[in-house]
Structure 1
Amino acid sequence: MTTPTGQVGRRLVRHLLAGGTGVKVVVRDAARLDDDVRERVGVVEGSHDDPAVLDAALPGATALFWLVPPNPAAASAEEHYLTFARAGSEAVRRHGVRHVVAVSSAGHGWAKPAGVLSAAFAMDAELQESGAAYRAVSPPFYMENLLGQLAAIRERGTFSLTCAGDQPLATIATRDIAATAADLLADLSWTARADVPVFGPDRLTPDGMAGVLSEELGRPVRYDRIALADFAAMRRSHGASERVVDDAVAMFAAQDEGIYDADWAKATIAPTSFRTWCREVLKPAL
């Protein structure tokens, strides 16, 4: 499995070990693994866009868990995702790995450019060419994205996104992404290719999320919408390239326009509510 120290991967590796699965991890720095995990897994150090690293990791593997790590410095989201996906697809083919589970995005079939989300869909297409049975775990907006706004919540009582405050926002907790991937990897009877949309149980608007945050934190929290033009200007002022800004703006525009809606209607509904996540994850972090 890849990204064993990330928000999804660190939970997934524990699911797999608890189920008795033999696990080998690809990790940039083995020291970042928890001690009890490092003692129980095979470790290959390096990045999984490196064919040599994948060649060290994949011999004998029955399945591969794949997640592309973020890289804000990448020239473009699509090229970043495809650099990893090409290396992964070729390695899966070389080593005859029969099953691949990847973390992608909800919204497959969206006709317009969607920036980072389109890059994830391009990754899926590339990995499907490997010949392995393929499952694209397809979540919407991560609740954990709000952890990047702890200072604003603490100091100003606000959080900000680009979407309308009165329109439902599809969300998911990373613990439920990990559990979905673990279930797929525990039973490899599936074949062919399929998307696996998984969404949290709420249909909260950002204004509604602010209400839940206020109740759970015991202090007022409000939602402040950022215009896409203001968001782009902010990213540029922080040194982001035009392509990176365009990728982010296209992603948020697609979210505003309903890229998740078709999958929301048919998704597996995960158990972690926004209120539970606030109580168990955000409040302790705050």
Structure 2
Amino acid sequence: MIVITAPAGNIGRHLLTRLIESAPASGEELRVIVRDPARLSDEVRGRVEVVTGSHGDADVVDRAFEGADAVFWLVPPDSSLTPSDGYSGFTLPAAKALATHRVGHVVGVSALGRGTPLADRAGLVTASLAMDDLIADSGVAYRALANPSFFENLLEEAESIRDKGVFTDNVDADRRAPLVAVADIAAAAAKLLLDRSWRGVDSVPVLGPQDLSPNDLARIMTEQLGRPVRYERQPLDELYTTLIGYGLNDAFVQGIADMKRAKDEGLDAGVARTPATASPTTFEQWCAETLKPAVLA
């Protein structure tokens, strides 16, 4: 039995599709935790067991983890909480339930940066790494998918790209760093969940096929969209003021700013890309298949 959290999210929906497709051959039973089952298609609901509720709730995870062999763990961002409460606080009931039900394996969505000088001052990333430690201390075999920024973050800029030909971030325009498609993260998770021969605790970097800078992204988007796209660097203090203006928790906003600053200082640059850490989806491919339809919609 594999339990999937956040099955309707960007990564979870890709993972769930892969696991459902493999179920006839693997024989795996699937259980999902979801707040609103209506977010799942009728076909999916007919193929999985559904536990309704939040996976931050002790009663929910206690029910969901009973009889489970493996869990896919993803914490949804909550801008009303501090980073520590949003990651470790949210995960604490699950860590207890993992130990109670003696779940063998957990695959979690985390971040790059562990072991670097920036790891303890990287905001949301620091909180995510602390969450990894909490899960590992429960006694499970644990693999943290150590991810850089996602291609999909650019979907938030689709309107600006369409109307102004501009996307923004807070890093130097020429700083190259790994980027990854969420479908590739899901593929890495599926592989680990279906072959649970691994033991102990470790991280699994998922780095995409190449490092890219904001200027590289602008060039590729220009080519793929057939219209000029340029990058504008937004000062961190401006980002902070904007997010506070939306009513977000002060500590959460500071966590975003600290993460962005750490990434600009090279947080994601310390892991070598190898055949084991690379993932296949190129930015060109993602632009053509995902960004372009969103921009032209």
TM-score by length of 1: 0.97
- Corresponding residue to 1:66 among 70, 73, 84: 73
> In the aligned structure 2, how far is the partner of 1:140 from the partner of 1:264?
13
1:143-182 to 2 correspondence within 5 Å?
143-182=151-190
After TM superposition, give the deviation of residue 170 of structure 1 in Å. Answer: 1.6
Q: Distance in 2 between matches of 1:38 and 1:265?
A: 38
Relative to structure 1, is the Cα distance of residues 279 and 164 closer, same or farther in structure 2, using a 3 angstrom cutoff?
same
Check if 1:45 corresponds to 2:52: yes
Q: What secondary structure, in the 3-state scheme, does the structure 1 residue paired with 2:78 have?
A: coil
Post-superposition CA distance 1:183-230 (Å, at most 9, x none): 001100000001001111122210110010011110000000111111
What 5-or-longer segments of structure 2 have no aligned partner?
none
Q: Please give the alpha-carbon distance, in whole angstroms, between the structure 1 residues aligned to 2:12 and 2:79.
A: 19
Instruction: Indicate if the aligned counterparts of 1:169 and 1:206 stay in contact, CA closer than 8 A.
Output: no
Task: Measure how far apart 1:84 and its partner are.
Answer: 2.1
Q: Where has structure 1 moved over 4 Å in runs of 4 or more?
A: 264-267
* Residue aligning to 2:287: 278
Cα distance in 2, alignment partners of residues 264 and 6 from structure 1:
28
Amino acid at match of 1:18: E
RMSD: 1.1
Q: Select between 167-176 and 234-243 the one with higher mean Cα deviation.
A: 234-243
The answer as to whether partners of 1:108 and 1:121 remain within 8 angstroms in 2 is yes
Alignment of 1:20-169 (within 5 A): 20=23, 21-74=28-81, 76-111=82-117, 112-169=120-177
Point out where structure 1 has 5 or more consecutive residues left out of the alignment.
Answer: none
Rounded Cα–Cα distance in structure 1 between residues aligned with 2:72 and 2:211: 29
**Matches of 1:251 and 1:8 in 2, distance apart?**
21
Sequence identity, in percent? Answer: 42
- TM-score normalised per structure 2: 0.93
Q: Establish whether residue 213 from structure 1 lines up as the match of residue 216 from structure 2.
A: no
Shifted more, 52-61 versus 177-186: the winner is: 52-61
Query: Which range moves more in the overlay, 229-238 or 122-131?
Result: 229-238
Structure 2 residue identity aligned to 1:236: I
Q: 2:246 aligns with which of 238, 253, 260?
A: 238
Q: State which of 194, 200, 203 in structure 2 corresponds to 1:195.
A: 203
Number of equivalences: 285
Letter in 1 for 2:7: P
Q: In 1, Cα distance between the equivalents of 2:187 and 2:89?
A: 27
1: distance between equivalents of 2:249 and 2:68?
39
Q: Distance in 2 between matches of 1:95 and 1:200?
A: 35
Q: CA deviation at 1:159?
A: 0.2
